[in-house]
Structure 1
Amino acid sequence: MAEKVRIGIVGYGNLGRGAELAVEKNPDMELAGIFTRRDPNTIQTATNANVYCQDNIRSFQDKLDVLILCGGSASDLPEMSPELARLFPIVDSYDNHAKIPDHYKKVNQAAEEAGKLAIISAGWDPGLFSLNRLLGEIVIPDGGTHTFWGKGLSQGHSEAVRRVEGVKKGVQYTVPMEEILEDARNGKGEDLTAAERHKRVCYIVADEKDHARIEEEIKTMPDYFAPYDTTVHFIDEETFDSEHQKMRHGGFVIRSGNSSKAHKQAMEFSLTLESNPEFTASVLVAYARAAYHLHKKGETGAKTPFDIPFSAMTHKTSAEIMKDLL
């Protein structure tokens, strides 16, 4: 067997734990280490992986092939991705759609200067949903694209909520408008914005004296909540722990339009996820394989999922995927 791809994971929250489990599912990979800002001695991993202090990561440059960055998009990845792209090939799941071009520019500059390769915004949205939006436009040029998220817990938006001062615990659920979802399947409503297709519902544990301020900060948060119909519920910690620990999610990308005056066509891609972080991590691990192979071929700079062929993401040979899947 060829040498295994040596993976490092930065951050050990829900996404990092999912990446650890996903690496274990891929026989051509091995987990070389988990890197954390917490005390490594306090971390109990799912697979008894080695845990190291993130401050020492520079000393692992000859021991790792790809880093999977499992920090949050609100404040971790904007700093972490450019910094670490100077040291290793990286993959991140940066998901603030409005700021992806700026994030790309910063990561691309860092990776190009260092001769490294970085894949950004690799998850299911952005990521797999992005690919399906593009495919729909290619195949049905005369039409409209509709993206719906949920009902489910959004990791990025939940992380943004928890960054609000005074929030002890918090989650955010994205809920599609059912009637608009059905309209999309019938070729209607392509001009609606994401905010018109969904509502956002937050459940927060916080001191009572902070409720009004926290609700206002959440509802006016740029790029995350400001354009949406957002409801904020304040609940006690016991209710939060018993009712809001599941991380189910999913959604739909629907492209509908006309191939002629006589015929309407529709394409639909959907996900139903019992664990949002585990699925997202599985996508990151697949893109980590691509980062490894493309970097070995000499490619550098930042890439998005649009730039990565599926053939670079699989451990199978071209002959195998042609025989088994074409």
Structure 2
Amino acid sequence: MSRTRIGILGYGNLGKGVELALRQSDDMELAAVFTRRDPADVSIATPGVPVRREAELEQGAGDDIDVLILCGGSATDLPTQTPKWAARCNVVDSFDTHAAIPRHFAAVDAAAKEAGTVALISCGWDPGLFSLNRLYATCILPEGTDYTFWGKGVSQGHSDAIRRIEGVADARQYTIPAPEALDRARAGENPQLTTRQMHTRECWVVLEEGADADEVRRQIVEMPNYFEPYDTTVNFITQQELDRDHADLPHGGFVLRSGATASGKGHVIEYALKLESNPEFTASVLVAYARAVARMAAEGQSGCRTVFDVAPAYLSPQSGDYLRAHML
């Protein structure tokens, strides 16, 4: 049986995580890594796999790839990369700017339908697995309230957004849930909470030499969608301090729905993740959904999809008989 051939575009933390996740998937293999950097400067962990420039994709270098996993950032990379490459091949991305997902979906859907490819967007754990749990819980408890708490952990997307600001050399951003708000949701109080009441954001930023700290701070705290709705603290430190104190990339969070059935009985549904490595876990989700994309493409489907559109069985390398016997 032939294995699904996967390409990686972007070899940062997420791209490296995809490469690791493929080692645990016997039905899949890494075919190539594409990068905007000089390939000679990129050393990957899989022997015999070529590293190529992103531009080579336009010259047919990815024609033998079944699914291209896009590992760029949501702030500036994926809004252009996903529709561009969906016009050439099947793709998966982790676009996580929630407010912009409908616009991103429309752009990618148009490109994929015209090309006859399948493109899965906003895949990971939120959006992604948390999205599914919000949907399931809302369907089961139609009368109720949803709550999503992230952290404490490093947000890859928010950290990347800070690093794109002129004058920033490096950054880490921690999302921190408000303990009182989380406790009230778990207790079934159904509190009405604002975005600002549920989380705070903590930024650790390394400035480039000569950068204006006040201007960088202003751009961070006023950034729409990312930081403006939250109480945000910006701390400036050295690269040595960042490397020493903020090298790990943990994350996690909770999805809750508190509601009542028709008799008035109260119920709380909770789904939780505790992640030692945000990029490695996110990459593992991307790889599972890349398997699903390859299967949908083989069936002749085309257009943009989200996790809402993918049957769970498509994610597993096991047969339907196996799943029914062992997991149902």
Identify the TM-score tier after normalising by the shorter chain.
over 0.9
For residues 237 and 28 of structure 1, the distance between their equivalents in structure 2, rounded to whole angstroms, comes to: 41
For residues 327 and 295 of structure 2, the distance between their equivalents in structure 1, rounded to whole angstroms, comes to: 21
Give runs of aligned pairs for residues 109-148 of structure 1, distance below 5 A.
109-148=110-149
Q: Which moved more, 1:255-264 or 1:162-171?
A: 255-264
Q: Does residue 107 of structure 2 align to residue 106 of structure 1?
A: yes
Q: Does residue 141 of structure 2 align to residue 151 of structure 1?
A: no
Q: Does residue 60 of structure 2 align to residue 55 of structure 1?
A: no
- The letter for the 1-side match of 2:166 is E
Count of paired positions: 325
* Contact 1:145/1:190 (<8 A) preserved: no
For residues 184 and 327 of structure 2, the distance between their equivalents in structure 1, rounded to whole angstroms, comes to: 33
- The letter for the 1-side match of 2:57 is I
List runs of 5+ in structure 2 lacking aligned partners: none
The aligned counterpart of 2:69 is 68
For residues 293 and 156 of structure 1, the distance between their equivalents in structure 2, rounded to whole angstroms, comes to: 28
SS in 2 for 1:33: strand
- The letter for the 1-side match of 2:52 is Y
For residues 288 and 250 of structure 1, the distance between their equivalents in structure 2, rounded to whole angstroms, comes to: 22
For residues 276 and 209 of structure 1, the distance between their equivalents in structure 2, rounded to whole angstroms, comes to: 29
SS in 2 for 1:75: coil
The aligned counterpart of 1:231 is 233
The alignment's C-alpha RMSD in Å is 1.1
TM-superposed CA distance for 1:61, in Å, is 4.2
SS in 1 for 2:126: coil
The aligned counterpart of 1:247 is 249
Q: Which moved more, 1:83-92 or 1:56-65?
A: 56-65
For residues 195 and 290 of structure 1, the distance between their equivalents in structure 2, rounded to whole angstroms, comes to: 36
The aligned counterpart of 2:295 is 293
- The letter for the 2-side match of 1:180 is A
For residues 63 and 7 of structure 2, the distance between their equivalents in structure 1, rounded to whole angstroms, comes to: 12
For residues 205 and 268 of structure 1, the distance between their equivalents in structure 2, rounded to whole angstroms, comes to: 37
Percent identity of paired positions between Structure 1 and Structure 2:
49
Q: Does residue 5 of structure 2 align to residue 6 of structure 1?
A: yes
- Give the structure-1-normalised TM-score: 0.97
SS in 2 for 1:246: coil
List runs of 5+ in structure 1 lacking aligned partners: none
SS in 2 for 1:283: helix
For residues 315 and 248 of structure 1, the distance between their equivalents in structure 2, rounded to whole angstroms, comes to: 28
Q: Does residue 124 of structure 2 align to residue 89 of structure 1?
A: no
TM-superposed CA distance for 1:186, in Å, is 1.2
Q: Which moved more, 1:305-314 or 1:205-214?
A: 205-214
Deviations 1:212-238 (A, max 9, x none): 100000000011001100000111222
SS in 2 for 1:60: coil
When residues 301 and 268 of structure 1 are mapped into structure 2, their CA distance, relative to the original with a 3 A threshold, is same
TM-superposed CA distance for 1:266, in Å, is 1.0
For residues 299 and 188 of structure 1, the distance between their equivalents in structure 2, rounded to whole angstroms, comes to: 44
Q: Does residue 217 of structure 2 align to residue 218 of structure 1?
A: no
* Contact 1:180/1:189 (<8 A) preserved: no
When residues 220 and 69 of structure 1 are mapped into structure 2, their CA distance, relative to the original with a 3 A threshold, is same
For residues 232 and 110 of structure 1, the distance between their equivalents in structure 2, rounded to whole angstroms, comes to: 39
- The letter for the 1-side match of 2:64 is K
The aligned counterpart of 2:24 is 25
TM-superposed CA distance for 1:63, in Å, is 1.0
